[in-house]
Amino acid sequence: MNARWQSPQRTATLDGLALQASGSAAGTAHHVHRTIRVAIGEAARRGHVPTNAAEITKAPRLEEEDSGPYTIE
């Protein structure tokens, strides 16, 4: 990896990925963001990138679906 991952355009790309994934299942966008953040964080820890651009982006909100009360059937 190189410095191009640290540009504002890449941060916007990560935000865009979260928006694209938000149409999926409730936790998909959050899972994608977490996975990218952890992977780039490990690369930063090892010195492959100077900082973790994924920490700058906001994690997408998780919207919990109300399943309603359980019934005995």
pLDDT tens string 13-60: 666 665 555 566 657 777 877 888 899 999 999 999 888 888 887 776
Residue 63 in this model has a pLDDT that exceeds 50: yes
pLDDT top residue among 49 and 67? 49
pLDDT at 72: 82
Where residue 5 falls among pLDDT bands split at 50, 70, 90? very low
DSSP-assigned states of every residue in 5-69: GGSHHHHHHHHHHHHHHTTSSTTHHHHHHHHHHHHHHHHHHTTSSSS-GGGTSPPPPP-PPP---
What pTM value is reported for the model? 0.54
Whole-number Å distance between alpha carbons of 42 and 58: 19
